[in-house]
Structure 1
Amino acid sequence: MSSRADINGGLRKLGTIAQAGYFVGLHIRFAAPLMQFQTYAEEWSEFYSKNAYALRDPTIAWGFSTTGACRWSALPIPDPFNILRDAADHGLTYGLTFSTGPIASRTIASFARADREFSDKEIEEVATTVQRLHELTEPPASLTKAQKEALRCIAQGDRHAAAAAKLGITESAFKARLISVRERLKARTTAEALQRAKEYRLL
């Protein structure tokens, strides 16, 4: 994990390559990504959702079946619902999908242009950037019981003294728990640690 600024920097770079937009789903677990970002036009996003295309999208099916990069024009996955044709009708004429990570925590990202195919150099840049985002957002497997208790107290609005009393520990011990959870989540502040714990479904 890293700061939001590092993630935003990677996303900005992807935006310069994919002039018709992108979707990045980081660490997909239980059919939902822990974090996702997308810049496709609202009209396409609404059309995609309305038609429940996520369940039928050949780019997603390909991303779960393998890792690496593939231009949409070369996808070896059937598209019986003509999703890629509909995408082209919405300006997503040329596309690229990149997939990385274990199947239990897969990152799948797709990118589109209206003017031309992605070059080999652009594919390499996309792969490097998405791989970096995948690594930056890798969550810890779990938090300790003490760390969870401390974050839950903060989430409920307890001040340090009240939280310590609730847990039956000293205030300094409570602060030590918060320091440990910030270090584990690589967060600069307790609020950031709490937000990350929620994003990574550790609470």
Structure 2
Amino acid sequence: MIARSEVQAALPNLGKLAPSGYFLGFHIRFAAPLIQYQTYSQAWADRYAMNAYALRDPVIAWGFSTTGACRWSVLPVPDPFGILKDAANHGLKYGLTVSYGAITSRSIACLAHDEREFTDTEVEMISTTIRRLHDILTPPESLTKAQKEALRCIAEGDRHAAAAAKLGISESAFKARLISARERLDARTTAEALQRAKDYRLL
């Protein structure tokens, strides 16, 4: 569970560096991140969703076109819909986007400040943190057949004894499979493991 504790330690630090909030999307596949964290104001989050800005956002377009870090003030991507100006009106006056990873599993982080540009030192700190989080949040490529069977039984509502009988194994063996699945998915509970397996499209 070291990975989870490292993530939980990193998020508040990013929050201090980005007082106007952030959006972190890790391992974007099929146009949606597998894991995301967001601290923007509710007003901006609602406006962003209502106007479908994600489809036209120049910082997201930049994040998919390359990797690295770029302040919004020098973003080399046109903004014909005025999204950055609208963001500034909501307190996101200065921003930074960090993009990292293969295009098939890209992570894009957008962080905002209301008073000043991010310093070079902050850009490097944030970039290092995003790269580290991308690596530790990389989902497993697969689960074993036994792990999948155990999680599917739980998904179908089977209790441990019934699931074990269905699979022709002892209840302790069934519990061992669930523990193995939780460890593989870095999940605290079986419910969390099941949700992660679904999110990662492993079931």
The TM-score range, normalised by the shorter chain, is over 0.9
More deviation, 31-40/186-195: 186-195
User: 1:197/1:2 Cα in 2 relative to 1: closer, same or farther (>3 Å)?
Assistant: farther
More deviation, 127-136/117-126: 127-136
Counterpart secondary structure, 2:99? strand
Shift of 1:3: 4.8
Residues 145-160 of structure 1 mapped to structure 2, 5 A cutoff:
145-160=145-160
> TM-score with structure 2 length normalisation?
0.92
Distance 1:107 1:79 in 2: 21
1:13 aligns with 13
Query: Contact 2:3/2:137 (CA < 8 Å) preserved in 1?
Result: no
Distance 1:202 1:16 in 2: 35
1:80 aligns with 80
Counterpart secondary structure, 2:78? coil
1:28 aligns with 28
Residues 83-162 of structure 1 mapped to structure 2, 5 A cutoff:
83-162=83-162
Shift of 1:158: 2.2
2:164 aligns with 164
Shift of 1:5: 3.3
Distance 1:42 1:173 in 2: 46
Query: Contact 2:4/2:186 (CA < 8 Å) preserved in 1?
Result: no
Query: Contact 1:2/1:136 (CA < 8 Å) preserved in 2?
Result: no
More deviation, 135-144/119-128: 135-144
Shift of 1:189: 4.2
Distance 2:101 2:176 in 1: 33
Amino acid at match of 1:184: R
Identity of aligned residues (%): 70
Distance 2:123 2:111 in 1: 10
Shift of 1:62: 0.4
Query: Contact 1:147/1:181 (CA < 8 Å) preserved in 2?
Result: yes
Distance 1:155 1:4 in 2: 24
- Deviation string 1:36-60 (CA, Å, 9 cap, x unpaired) is 1111111111111111110000000
Counterpart secondary structure, 1:97? strand
Shift of 1:177: 2.2
- Deviation string 1:116-158 (CA, Å, 9 cap, x unpaired) is 1000010011111111211121101111222111011123332
User: 1:53/1:189 Cα in 2 relative to 1: closer, same or farther (>3 Å)?
Assistant: closer
- Deviation string 1:12-37 (CA, Å, 9 cap, x unpaired) is 11000001110000110000001111
Amino acid at match of 2:65: S
Query: Contact 1:150/1:163 (CA < 8 Å) preserved in 2?
Result: yes
What is the aligned residue count? 203
2:53 aligns with 53
Counterpart secondary structure, 1:25? strand
User: 1:172/1:28 Cα in 2 relative to 1: closer, same or farther (>3 Å)?
Assistant: same
Structure 1 regions of 5+ residues with no counterpart? none
